[in-house]
Amino acid sequence: MELKISKKASAISPSPTLAIDSKFKEMKKEGIPVVGFGAGEPDFNTPENIKNAGIEAIKNNITKYTPASGTLELKAAVCQKLKRDTGLEYSTSNIVISNGGKHSLTNTFTCICDPGDEVILPAPYWVSYPEMIKLADAVPVIIEGAEENNFKFTAEQLESAITPKTRALVLNTPSNPTGMVYTKDELEKIAEIAVKNNIYIIFDEIYEKLVYEGEHTNIATLGDEIRDLTIIVNGLAKTYAMTGWRIGFVAANKKLAKAMGNIQSHATSNPNSIAQAAAVEALNGDQSIIETMKKTYIERRDYMVDKINSIDGLSCKTPHGAFYVFMNVKDVLNKEHYGKMINTANELCQDILDRALVALVPSEGFGVDGYVRLSYATSMDTIKTGLDRIEKYLKGEFNEVEYSDNELNA
């Protein structure tokens, strides 16, 4: 008997980043000395004050249902955070707390898209965006940012992609996977086009605190009209090393926020009550982890960029935010490696994993070919070991592999 699944479910691809991270963890568990650059999460622990707030919530029996769209305490903390960081005034009725940033995004696409609507999606993009858009019965329209322009699209590209069916533009800054940051001038041009065409800006700023050069600008600060069209999507995972706590949030106009709350009430009920209590402490409490993380990430980024650009056939831009390097591998593709033709980034990553035991994320999942994403949210020892192995692989030195004790424990 054939068991059927829906056409919609069949059309959705699994997350390649999570798949690679899962394979990496399985290999580690089996004792294989694999080095991983795939993780999209901080390698820091959640700060003690945040963990203690979660423990206290359990002790105080904060374990019941909360309002579907989040507690008033956490919504108020989000409003204070937005006021503190951007100067924007939001009320708690503008805020929806969700089970992570992904949940906030799926709520958003569900609320604004009808079947056949188009959502403009700049590539390279985060792997889940197109699948989320398709789940909302909408159509992703891809515009590709050139490496020469730091992987950022132009105003001309945006205008040419807009049709009567265009509903929104997804804007992720700092970017996953490139780490590039849109400037205020660039955002002003985008805002002007969005207002003229009355399209939403889905402004994903999950990496907002991890900016190393220049400043992060929230597009909603650029005028009342663009603020009304902006749906701010954020969360606590990257800033506070809370990936497993699953708390995200949206700040939007009240009509949209109410609709998202209604959807969430039927889809998941409320976000985890204990995680919400901890999130209040994260937003209101000690913020010193941010500077600690930034200092560490800058050191790792600088080493990684310098090393990659010293390896024949590889190159990369210096990312200005997040914790990823988007490495150009085009010069080593369409060539024979170890007696086998390697034509795509995916094939290259698979061969490097098999031979050099280094887990990388190929760029096909990000909507482009010829690149590889590396995360520097990992130790400096791991970064050095992994990049050394990649260099040896490209030099043809991996026919026989020998690992030191340090590498085995990397």
Name which of 381, 296, 403, 398 is nearest 339 in CA terms: 398
Domain with 184 in it: what CATH number?
3.40.640.10
pLDDT in tens, 130-167: 999 999 999 999 999 999 999 999 999 999 999 999 99
**Which range marks the domain in which residue 129 is found?**
48-284
pLDDT in tens, 45-65: 999 999 999 999 999 999 999
User: For residues 285 and 11, which has the higher predicted lDDT (pLDDT)?
Assistant: 285
If pLDDT is split at 50, 70 and 90, which confidence band does 407 have? very low
- pLDDT at residue 10, rounded to an integer: 86
**Looking at the predicted structure, is the pLDDT value of residue 199 above 50?**
yes
Same domain, 40 and 76: no
Contact criterion met (CB below 8 Å) for 35 and 358: yes
**Looking at the predicted structure, is the pLDDT value of residue 122 above 50?**
yes
- pLDDT at residue 410, rounded to an integer: 42
280-301 residues labelled b (16+ CB within 10 A) or e (exposed): bbbbbbeeebeeebbebbeebb
The two most distant CA atoms of the chain are separated, in Å, by 63
Q: Is residue 1 part of a domain?
A: no
Stated as kind and residue range, the H or E segment containing 186 is helix 184-197
- pLDDT at residue 384, rounded to an integer: 98
pLDDT, average across residues 240-255? 97
Sequential DSSP letters for 298-363: HHHHHHHHHHHHHSTT-EE----BTTEEEEE-GGGSSEEETTEEE-SHHHHHHHHHHHH-EE-EEG
**Looking at the predicted structure, is the pLDDT value of residue 406 above 90?**
no
Same domain, 64 and 18: no
Quick check: helix, strand or coil at residue 377? Answer: coil
Q: Around 356, how many Cα atoms within 13 Å sit in the side-chain half-sphere?
A: 27
Same domain, 79 and 145: yes
Q: Is residue 206 part of a domain?
A: yes
Phi first, then psi, for residue 145 (nearest 5°) are -85, 130
Same domain, 74 and 37: no
What is the domain count for the chain? 2
User: For residues 72 and 28, which has the higher predicted lDDT (pLDDT)?
Assistant: 72
Domain with 323 in it: what CATH number?
3.90.1150.10
CA distance 20 to 177: 15
Tell me the CA end-to-end span of the chain in Å, nearest whole number: 47
- How is residue 408 written in tokens? 């085995």
Q: Is residue 361 part of a domain?
A: yes
Q: Which of 284, 302, 324 is the last residue of a domain?
A: 284
Q: Which of 262, 284, 306 is the last residue of a domain?
A: 284
**Looking at the predicted structure, is the pLDDT value of residue 404 above 70?**
no
Counting residues of the chain whose pLDDT is more than 70, the rounded percentage is: 97
Which residues share a beta bridge with 234? 249
Q: Is residue 258 part of a domain?
A: yes
Name which of 202, 157, 211 is nearest 181 in CA terms: 211
Q: Which of 266, 284, 302 is the last residue of a domain?
A: 284
- How is residue 22 written in tokens? 């899962």
Q: Around 202, how many Cα atoms within 13 Å sit in the side-chain half-sphere?
A: 26
Same domain, 53 and 171: yes
Same domain, 299 and 251: no
- pLDDT at residue 213, rounded to an integer: 93
- pLDDT at residue 7, rounded to an integer: 86
Counting residues of the chain whose pLDDT is more than 90, the rounded percentage is: 88
- The Cβ of residue 384 has, within 10 Å, a number of other Cβ atoms equal to 18
**Looking at the predicted structure, is the pLDDT value of residue 408 above 70?**
no
Contact criterion met (CB below 8 Å) for 132 and 105: yes
**Looking at the predicted structure, is the pLDDT value of residue 170 above 50?**
yes
Q: Is residue 161 part of a domain?
A: yes
CA distance 4 to 347: 31
Name which of 296, 272, 374, 386 is nearest 40 in CA terms: 374
Q: Is residue 249 part of a domain?
A: yes
Which range is most confident: 5-9, 274-278, 393-397? 274-278
pLDDT, average across residues 162-190? 98
- pLDDT at residue 405, rounded to an integer: 42
> What average pLDDT does the structure give for the chain?
94
Same domain, 256 and 309: no
Length of the chain: 410
CA dihedral (115, 121, 123, 127) positive or negative: negative
Same domain, 100 and 134: yes
Distances (CA, A) of 67 to 74, 102, 244, 299: 11, 20, 21, 42
Same domain, 218 and 348: no
pLDDT in tens, 107-117: 999 999 999 99
Quick check: helix, strand or coil at residue 170? Answer: strand
Same domain, 41 and 59: no
Sequential DSSP letters for 3-69: PP--HHHHTPPPPHHHHHHHHHHHHHHTT---EE----S-SSPPPHHHHHHHHHHHHTT--S---TT
CA distance 232 to 216: 14
Same domain, 373 and 247: no
- pLDDT at residue 400, rounded to an integer: 52
pLDDT in tens, 287-332: 999 999 999 999 999 999 999 999 999 999 999 999 999 999 999 9
Q: Is residue 14 part of a domain?
A: yes
What's the chain's Rg over C-alpha atoms? 22
pLDDT in tens, 25-47: 888 899 999 999 987 899 999 99
Contact criterion met (CB below 8 Å) for 219 and 226: yes
- The Cβ of residue 69 has, within 10 Å, a number of other Cβ atoms equal to 27
Q: Is residue 2 part of a domain?
A: no
Same domain, 315 and 370: yes
pLDDT, average across residues 69-81? 98
- pLDDT at residue 9, rounded to an integer: 87
pLDDT, average across residues 220-237? 98
pLDDT, average across residues 327-354? 95
